Structure 1
Amino acid sequence: MMTLITVKKLFISFRHLIHQISKDAMLFFVCISPLLCGLLIRFGIPFVENLLTEHFDKVILLPYYLIFDLFLAVITAAMFSFASAMVILGEIDDGITSYLAITPIGKSGYLVSRLVFPLISSLFMSIVVLIVFSLTRPSVSMIVIISIMASIFGFIMSMIVVSMSTNKVEGLAVMKLSNILTIGIIAPFLVSEKFQIIFFLFPSFWISKFIIENKFFDFVVFIVVSTVWVLLLLKKFIRKIK
């Protein structure tokens, strides 16, 4: 069981992570970018929809407002997790992780402060961003559910970056490639049901599926698929920092 002293040390380590992010202009911008995306979506999309409606005399984007909300939730979680992943890569490159075993928090504490705490932070960030900027105005309970799923997905994307990269340059490239996984969000909206099986291993697909159909089965599949991703990536990452 964690003692109060251990928890305090974990928060100190997490505070150090935040400090490193705040000192890096790129990572700082990454963390505030969801706010800019939220502003663009909240005010830009309805403006464009009004123009399109007047021109074509029918609604164009309105039926897909939920897609923008889901992308906003995922982007918010992914950006903060990505910033944490880049700090981890920098620490690996500097050889800091080699000395974790003799620190008070150890490697397990390091993983908690660098992976779990950012996950929790991204959850709260997603909730706030959706409450302020969502187009569909879902209930608070639905916002919480969307944010939980989005933060788990963001965690997976950060694990892909730290597991598949050896430095920050590679991390940027891997992050761009991992964005392919977000296309699962649009599949339930635009892809016929018989072809949706293609996206079975995309956690983002099950986020949309669950929110649209509200079936507990879809949520369970999301958890199972996400767990497989996390276990495989975490195993690779732990081998990397040994």
Structure 2
Amino acid sequence: MIKKVASLANSDIKNIRTDPMLLLAFIGPLILIVVYHTGIPVGLSILESQFNVDMRLYEKLVFLVFLFMLPLITGMLGGFLMLEEKESQLITYYSITPLGQKGYVLFRLTVPFLITFVSVLLFMKFSHFSSMPIIWFIFTAIITSMLAPLISLFLASFATTRVDGFALSKMSSLLIVAPFILFLVPSGMQWIGGVLLTFWITKLFQSAWSNPSEFIVHLVVSLCAHLIVLLFLCRRFSRQIA
């Protein structure tokens, strides 16, 4: 079992090293973290001086957009790897090995989650928007990181080729729209964004920042929404590779 997991991980490393797109996706989270913490403050300062606008009003919006890009990039990486194995029938091979179908799916969901979780922790740790109780800090990081395996499963479940995967990955980018809805759209119309998982994560952060009494409610709603989507995608993908 361990040997099969190691073999699968080694295969991933080779694919990432030889495919520039996958390599960029792999180091993408680190690039985003560096850009956010070094370039964004300078950029906001320039915009503020040029247009005489208080950019502090938009700092949380920028924070959330960059935060959601972390699971988006990692999830796409995992999804493209799964699509490649799907096209080459490697998934069928893995299903008859000691690793098994369940072991394969578990591996493919766990790795994007863990990579994103570490990235999110680092991103939030060095941000001044992370001032919240440590348990809330961990929960928000976990919920945000759950997006990565969901995006991987979404691409692997609905795309048949990597070309399809590129098209669907653009659709996945709509997840970044949620913060704009909650920050810029009138409150009475904001609930149209409720179909997006990132809408509930944004609500979770907003409650942690300004309305702590609603944090648990938004945490439960967000967790349930993620689990429902995960169950649906797992069943769909399992039927495809059965």
TM-score range, shorter chain: 0.7 to 0.9
User: Are 2:17 and 1:22 aligned?
Assistant: yes
User: Are 2:36 and 1:35 aligned?
Assistant: no
Contact kept in structure 2, 1:69 and 1:135, CA below 8 Å: no
Query: Distance between the aligned counterparts of 1:8 and 1:181, measured in 2?
Result: 36
Structure 1 stretch displaced more, 231-240 or 39-48 = 39-48
Query: Distance between the aligned counterparts of 2:9 and 2:113, measured in 1?
Result: 12
Contact kept in structure 1, 2:83 and 2:160, CA below 8 Å: yes
What secondary structure, in the 3-state scheme, does the structure 1 residue paired with 2:129 have? coil
The amino acid of 2:225's aligned partner reads: V
What secondary structure, in the 3-state scheme, does the structure 2 residue paired with 1:166 have? coil
Contact kept in structure 2, 1:207 and 1:222, CA below 8 Å: yes
What secondary structure, in the 3-state scheme, does the structure 2 residue paired with 1:136 have? coil
What secondary structure, in the 3-state scheme, does the structure 2 residue paired with 1:200 have? helix
Q: Displacement of 1:56 after TM fit?
A: 4.4
Matches within 5 A, 1:127-206: 127-132=121-126, 134=127, 136=129, 138=131, 141=134, 143-206=137-200
| Structure 1 gaps, min length 5 | 1-5
What secondary structure, in the 3-state scheme, does the structure 1 residue paired with 2:146 have? helix
| Structure 2 gaps, min length 5 | 209-214
Query: Distance between the aligned counterparts of 2:130 and 2:28, measured in 1?
Result: 21
Number of the residue aligned with 1:240: 240
Structure 1 stretch displaced more, 139-148 or 45-54 = 139-148
Number of the residue aligned with 2:44: 49
Contact kept in structure 1, 2:30 and 2:119, CA below 8 Å: no
Number of the residue aligned with 1:3: none
Aligned-residue Cα RMSD (Å) equals 2.2
Query: Distance between the aligned counterparts of 2:203 and 2:180, measured in 1?
Result: 10
Query: Distance between the aligned counterparts of 1:42 and 1:220, measured in 2?
Result: 30
What secondary structure, in the 3-state scheme, does the structure 1 residue paired with 2:195 have? coil
| TM-score (norm: length of structure 1) | 0.87
Contact kept in structure 2, 1:78 and 1:151, CA below 8 Å: no
The amino acid of 1:176's aligned partner reads: K
